[in-house]
Amino acid sequence: MTTEELVTGGLRLEAHKQRSTKAPIRAASLTERYVIPLDQHSGLPAVPLVKPSDRVRIWQPIAQPAPGISAWLHSPVSGEVLAIEPRPAPHRLGAPTLSVVIANDGRDERFENAAAIVSFERLSPNEACEHIARGGIVGLGGAAFPTASKLASSLCENGPKLLLNGAECEPYISCDEVLMRERAEDIVFGARALLHALCSPSCTIAIEDDVPDAHTALRLAIDKVGDARIRIKVVPAIYPAGGERQLIATVFDTEVPHDGLPADIGVVCQNVGTAAAIARWIRDGQPLVSRIVTVTGDGVRDAGNLETRIGTPFSSLIADCGGYTERMSRLIMGGSMMGTSLPHDDLPVVKATNCIVAASSLDLQLRGAEMPCIRCGNCSQVCPAFLLPQQLHWYLQPFDSDQLDRHGLLDCIECGCCDYVCPSQIPLVERFREAKPLLTRELDAHLSADAARTRFLARNERLARLEAEHRAKLAAKRRPKNEPSS
């Protein structure tokens, strides 16, 4: 076996990052069409500011945040808005989602955004968050959560500790590693901006122990600005060390409460890519319209990391990397453990697209035939959330919501470590993903039933009280008649 188990969970996996990190970051080719889904960030879909046949320029805002948790979207090219219509998207494989389709005129005419470049240090923390929001900045670690909302809800009196997540633990993904290697100064600039926006006293950049070049580059960049608040912490290269909750536990030795957020324990975690995007927005006025995408796998001829504009079709990236090999089998967005398998490559790059793996049979390790669980416990040994997956599996059939809740089904981070080590080849993550909404629905039903019962009883009590008061009033009115007249 090529893996080792750890006492506290996780697996040592082969990284498969050598091919894609050999060459420096290069730019992806421009294409004719760019499809920008309006809901590519967490929260509510953005509201379009443009309509079909409008001319747009590069970096021009094309959609504004909806009320609530939402984000700005900007045009990655200059050209004409062809349509705003439902289009297939990689983060919404169930149904096409409303997207802005822009035809590239090749001229890259820039939109002059007067509000873009500011002297950041002069802004108050709230103004700083608002400014970051206007850059369309969302978390580039995979969840695409609007950064400004995260920052705004994390401002606390003592200033939270900032954690920059450079611990890219999933096999095949190397975009953060090359970013740290080649653009460490952007990351440090972004870190300092975040420190200002959060009133935070310290920043820790977490990296794994298998990226010495990135470590050196970051070290140089930090020393160059001479900021003593920023330090580097090296964590073991174990999957999934880069998971937010696991990383916080490793770096700060405290756990995020299961029903809370990192902000509750005074920590804000951002991906290093997000920090670099913030730097580009504040320093250069460039909103989030492009990101580094790793293209790798035995199914593509040349692997590499490409600076890609949002909305570029996957097929274009594959073409940039020499096209598919004959061995191409499965197209995955993400890494080999948690990536989504895609039905075709005519899908646009979104802000959350960190990696495309064109997998062949050399990359894939397919599951064997499923056998019953033999309760060997390999799964519980590797679970980074300290769960007992064998028990969760046991209580799925028949569905025992009480036991599933007690054993923490909703705490599962779907990392796939349990799947990996199961000798019975049970697709555990798939089962848990199916079961979670069923459990959530039942727990929610219990909560609303309890609330309904409380209101019902309160109403009955109120009616009884009103009835009693009414009767007392009537009785008081009747009494004087029975008294002998004076």
Site for other proteins in 333-392 (CB under 8 A): 334, 336-345, 357, 359, 363-369, 371-377, 380-381, 384-388, 390-391
How many Å apart are CA 136 and CA 141, to the nearest integer? 15
Q: Report in angstroms how near the CB of residue 455 gets to other proteins at its nearest.
A: 4
96 binds other proteins (CB under 8 A): no
Q: Which residues in 235-294 contact other proteins (CB under 8 A)?
A: 245-246, 249, 255-260
Nearer to other proteins, 99 or 380 (CB): 380
Dihedral angle, C-alpha 192, 196, 198, 200, nearest 10 °: 70
At closest approach, how far in Å is the CB of 331 from other proteins?
Answer: 5
Stretch in the footprint of other proteins (CB under 8 A) among 77-85, 140-148, 288-296, 408-416: 408-416
Cβ-Cβ contacts under 8 Å for 377 (sequence gap 6 or more): 390
The phi, psi pair for 182, rounded to 5°, reads: -105, -25
Residue from 27, 458, 468, 472 touching other proteins (CB under 8 A): that is 458
Report the residue number, 185 or 244, with the smaller CB distance to other proteins: 244
What CA–CA distances, in Å, run from 133 to 49, 129, 150, 277, 284? 16, 6, 10, 12, 15
- Residue 294's H or E segment, with its range, is strand 290-296
CB contact set of 313 (below 8 Å; sequence gap of 6+)? 31, 33, 35, 345, 346, 347, 348, 349
**Is 324 an interacting residue with respect to other proteins (CB under 8 A)?**
yes
For residue 64, the minimal CB distance to other proteins (Å) is 20
Residue 432 as a binder of other proteins (CB under 8 A): the answer is: no
Position 143 contacts other proteins (CB under 8 A)? no
Q: Answer whether 73's CB lies under 8 Å from 63's CB.
A: yes
Alpha-carbon gap, residue 185 to 96, rounded angstroms = 38
Q: From 32-40, 111-119, 214-222, 449-457, give the range in contact with other proteins by CB under 8 A.
A: 449-457
| CB of 124 or CB of 341, closer to other proteins | 341
Separation between Cα atoms, residue 37 and residue 13, nearest integer Å? 34
Residue 134 structure tokens: 């206007």
User: Does 456 engage in binding with other proteins (CB under 8 A)?
Assistant: yes
**Cβ nearer to other proteins, comparing 82 with 98:** 98
Q: Smaller CB distance to other proteins: residue 372 or 484? A: 372
- When asked if residue 325 is in the footprint of other proteins (CB under 8 A), the reply is no
Give, in order, the Cα–Cα distances in Å from 271 to each of 21, 180, 278.
19, 11, 11
Question: Which residues, 6 or more positions from 372, have their beta carbon under 8 angstroms from its beta carbon?
Answer: 424
State the number of binding residues for other proteins (CB under 8 A): 87
Site for other proteins, residues 162 to 181, rule: CB under 8 A = 171
226 in contact with other proteins (CB under 8 A): no
